[in-house]
Structure 1
Amino acid sequence: MYRKFAAILAAACVGIFTSTAALAEYPDRDIRVIVPWGAGGGTDAIVRKLTTIAEKDIGGSMYVENIDGGISATGISQLMQARPDGYTIGALTYDSVVTIPWQGMLPTYKMDKLKLIARVTSEPDAIIVDATSPYKTIGDLVADAKANPGKVKIGIQNIGSRLHLAILQLQDETGVEFKIIAYPGGAAPQKEAILSNEVDVVATSLGDFAPLLENGDVRGIVEFTDTTNPTFTTVPTAKEEGLKLRIGSFIVIAAPAGTPDDVVQKIENAYKKALESDEFQQWTAKVGVTPSWLGSDQVTQWADETSKTLFQQMDTLVEEGVLKK
């Protein structure tokens, strides 16, 4: 009996040692970071910058992989199906948390298949025009759209996405009708569209268009927030323009559900340190990105409450005939 107990105790000690040793070795190979949008957009730039800095602290190599499609569903579905070992993580955006679940696009897409690690940014949406545009204000745009129903072309990213919802709400609030044109794949196709005059305006975040804004190639005419952008201070807020619409995106770092807590903690610590670093803070100050940290102890509740509120808003718009599900 004593020998049996001793054997069980020895096995338990070996198990504890092995688990501790495995954790101490994490990571012992490359960590894949899924960005569910095309290269060149705002989400891609932010995640790449933050990951490059986090890599220095986590003790292993990290690489970003763009997996575009399905309003982010393609990439996030891969994240959901990945082994929960800390070697595949990903970036969720508004559409990943709100649009896809609300529309029920994929029966297998369930948020409980993910462990949310941290929210790292929070970005209001904006209306952006070419530098040569006659629209100096959102009032100019609305006036022209009223005079020419269905003629003013506005570029969004995906039909059914957050930006689509934003423009539908803007139309409803101002009593106008735009010609909405979708450019799937993030902000990069929108940039080409506005610079080539395929569209009159685009809806996206100021951060997505930061280089073009800095170069003077485009101008922001409104940002759907109450607070002036600390980088692009000349862009009026919706509050200043007398608009009720407030909408925007965010980036959340996540892992497959079941990823060990200690591994999640190590990833969270690395990204938090990266976000608070002078390098990232100085970079965000130049590109119009707003760092906004919520750790693993808060981010899941925040995401649940945010999606619930937005689901109710969108259901109301469906009932009013403004939006189709």
Structure 2
Amino acid sequence: MDHRSLGRSGLSVSAIGLGCMGMSEFYGPTDDEQSLATLAAALDLGINFFDTADMYGSGANERLLARFLKGRRDQVVLATKFGNVRGPNGERLGVSGTPDYVRSACDASLERLGIDTIDLYYQHRVDPNTPIEDTVGAMRELVDAGKVRFLGLSECSVATLRRAHAVHPISAVQIEYSLWSREPEQEMLDACRELGIAFVAYSPLGRSFLTGAVTSPDSLAPDDYRRASPRFTSEAVKQNLTMVEALKDFAAAKGATSAQIALAWILNKQDNVIPIPGTKRIKYLQENVAAAAIRLSAEEVAALDALFAPEGVAGTRYPEAGMAMVNL
């Protein structure tokens, strides 16, 4: 497994990380034992960068990671997040970046994870009612206290990133980025390179759509949150599948799978970009890891760019309320 720098933190992480969200919520039935086996396999395959958040399963995902981390803590670069507030029954209570909440959320995550220090602590969503300087100031206090090593932001704007970076160095920005989610190419990728910040790409496989695994919303579990996504309506799926079929042909010509080409496309864009595909299954984990060895020429990257031209993608990546909480 190749490695990439996590900004200017001095940490070296696997070029492909592992997103753990789906192990505890959002994508149908969960199986902790299966997920624990997948986490262990990821480490064996060279992945050392694991991503979770306090809101995944309302803390369940962090507790799952705690089981995995026992006896392995020094082998793992662990990222978690705060900001999306949930109630005792999982209800969504909005976003908070107040200093008091930052401190209490960190302590709660440390307890659930069973660790003393979080390697990378992200603000999951920007709180529009709290100045970013106040939020990052509280996050800086966590670094000073030894509870957190490095800081990150998720789904922020470039303007917010610059303000945050002026308070304390930001090591990573995490934003959705894939063949069919190209917004970071407008400004954020250049800003991260300028500031020496790693760009962490979540949902690099388009929530499995780019793999060809989803051909109809009817194939999704009743509680799968993609059923509420504008990109997974019957009409959007029908239009977007034309690009996925072309991707399948492109991959076949390279002797690879669609998922592998989608990941290779990201890895061949810039050397500070780190995709974190999520999976609960070892089979798909092994497939994803193999993508790190695929090299694409500049012409092949350009061809994929054109194939997935943003104007040809049907549906926004979140419903209206979700889109209102990104790029703040």
Which is bigger in relative contact order (C-alpha 8 A, separation at least 6)?
A: 1
Give TM-score scaled by structure 2 length: 0.30
Give TM-score scaled by structure 1 length: 0.30
